[in-house]
C-alpha cells in the first residue's frame, strides 16, 4: 500500500502536520508515502522556501517504524515559469518531483469561468497542448500528476476529451513514455464529485496501449482523512488494465513494486 502524493501545512491549501500525516498513513496500513507540497510560481500561488522545507522534513525522511517517507514536491508547470521552476529545484535533494498543470496558458483553471468562451473540445485541446509545451520546458520531473484535472472545472467539468484534442493527448502520452516519465493515477476525482480517478480509465488504457508502463498512485490528500483514500481501488483498476507494478521514488530514483494479484502472460511486464 503506497500513497505518493500527499500535502502538509507547507502547502497553502493544507494545514496537516507532517508527523500527523505519517501517523494517519500508518493507521491505514500504508508502507510508502511521499510528502509532495505545492510549489507554483504565479503571484499568490502556493510555494515555500525549499531549503527550510527540506531542512524541516529531513528528520521525517526515510524509514519510520515500517513506513518509508519520501520528501518531494508538486511543481506547478507552465511555459512561462520554466526558469522559476528550474531555480527552485536546482540541485536540491527532493526524492520525487510531480509536475502538475494548475493553469492553462496562465489562467488558473480552478477559478470559476475556466473555458467559458470556448467549447469543451477547444479547452481540452488548449490544456493538452499547454501540458506538453510546459512538460518539455520544465522537464526536470519524475511523475506527471492528475492528467485530466480539467474534468473538475468550468466548461470541461465532467466531460470526456473528444475530437481533435485526442491528437494532443496522444502526443503528451507519447512524450511522457519517450522521456521515461511516470504517469500518476490520482484518486482525488471522486472527492470532487466526479465518477473517476484522474485520469479516467480510458486514458490509462491509452497510455498502456502506447507502451506506458510506469505509474504511481496518490490520494492528493490535503487532510488526514484522505490519506490513502481509494488506493486499493486504484491498484485494482491498474491491474485490470494490465499494469503489474507501481513506482515509488527515493533520491529521484524509481522503484517498481509489484501490484498484488494474478496476471496473464500477455499482461505480465518485466521490470527493467
Binding site for Zn ion (CB under 5 A): 74, 100, 220
Q: Which is nearer to Zn ion, 100 or 134 (CB)?
A: 100
Distance of CA 212 to the CA centre of its chain: 15
Q: Which is nearer to Zn ion, 148 or 220 (CB)?
A: 220
- Beta bridge mates, 99: 75, 144
Nearest to 5, CA basis, from 162, 253, 188 = 188
- Beta bridge mates, 39: 75
Measured over the CA atoms of residue 87, residue 42, residue 185 and residue 191, the dihedral's sign is: positive
Q: Which is nearer to Zn ion, 154 or 213 (CB)?
A: 154
Q: Which is nearer to Zn ion, 103 or 213 (CB)?
A: 103
| Shortest CB 76 distance to Zn ion, Å | 7
Cβ-contact 236, 214 below 8 angstroms: no
Burial class (CB in 10 A: 0-12, 13-18, 19+), 122: middle
Cβ-contact 141, 75 below 8 angstroms: yes
| Shortest CB 230 distance to Zn ion, Å | 15
CA distance 137 to 30: 34
| Shortest CB 218 distance to Zn ion, Å | 8
| Shortest CB 102 distance to Zn ion, Å | 6
C-alpha cell at 153: 472545472
| Shortest CB 58 distance to Zn ion, Å | 21
C-alpha cell at 154: 468550468
| Shortest CB 34 distance to Zn ion, Å | 11
Q: Which is nearer to Zn ion, 152 or 214 (CB)?
A: 152
Burial class (CB in 10 A: 0-12, 13-18, 19+), 115: buried
Q: Which is nearer to Zn ion, 197 or 213 (CB)?
A: 197
Query: Which single residue brings its beta carbon nearest to Zn ion?
Result: 100
Amino acid at each position: 500500500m503506497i500513497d505518493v502524493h500527499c500535502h502538509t501545512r507547507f502547502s497553502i491549501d493544507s494545514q496537516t502536520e507532517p508527523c500527523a500525516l505519517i501517523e494517519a498513513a500508518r493507521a491505514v496500513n500504508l508502507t510508502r508515502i511521499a510528502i509532495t507540497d505545492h510549489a507554483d510560481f504565479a503571484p499568490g500561488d502556493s510555494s515555500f522556501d525549499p531549503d527550510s522545507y527540506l531542512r524541516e522534513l529531513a528528520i521525517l525522511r526515510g524509514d519510520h517504524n515500517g513506513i518509508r517517507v519520501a520528501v518531494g514536491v508538486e511543481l506547478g508547470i507552465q511555459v512561462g515559469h520554466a526558469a522559476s521552476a528550474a531555480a527552485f529545484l536546482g540541485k536540491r535533494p527532493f526524492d520525487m518531483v510531480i509536475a502538475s498543470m494548475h493553469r492553462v496558458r496562465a489562467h488558473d483553471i480552478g477559478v470559476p469561468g475556466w473555458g467559458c468562451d470556448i467549447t469543451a473540445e477547444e479547452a481540452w485541446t488548449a490544456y493538452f497542448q499547454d501540458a506538453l509545451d510546459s512538460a518539455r520546458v520544465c522537464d526536470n520531473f519524475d511523475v506527471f500528476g492528475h492528467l485530466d484535472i480539467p474534468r473538475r472545472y468550468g466548461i470541461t467539468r465532467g466531460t470526456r476529451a473528444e475530437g481533435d484534442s485526442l491528437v494532443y493527448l496522444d502526443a503528451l502520452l507519447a512524450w511522457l513514455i519517450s522521456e521515461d516519465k511516470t504517469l500518476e493515477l490520482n484518486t482525488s476525482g471522486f472527492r470532487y464529485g466526479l465518477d473517476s480517478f484522474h485520469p479516467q480509465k480510458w486514458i490509462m488504457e491509452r497510455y498502456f496501449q502506447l507502451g506506458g508502463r510506469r505509474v504511481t498512485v496518490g490520494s492528493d490528500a490535503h487532510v488526514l482523512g484522505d490519506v490513502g483514500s481509494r488506493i486499493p481501488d486504484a491498484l485494482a483498476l491498474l491491474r485490470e488494465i494490465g499494469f503489474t507494478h507501481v513506482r515509488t521514488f527515493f533520491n529521484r530514483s524509481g522503484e517498481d513494486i509489484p501490484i498484488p494479484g494474478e496476471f496473464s502472460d500477455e499482461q505480465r511486464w518485466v521490470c527493467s
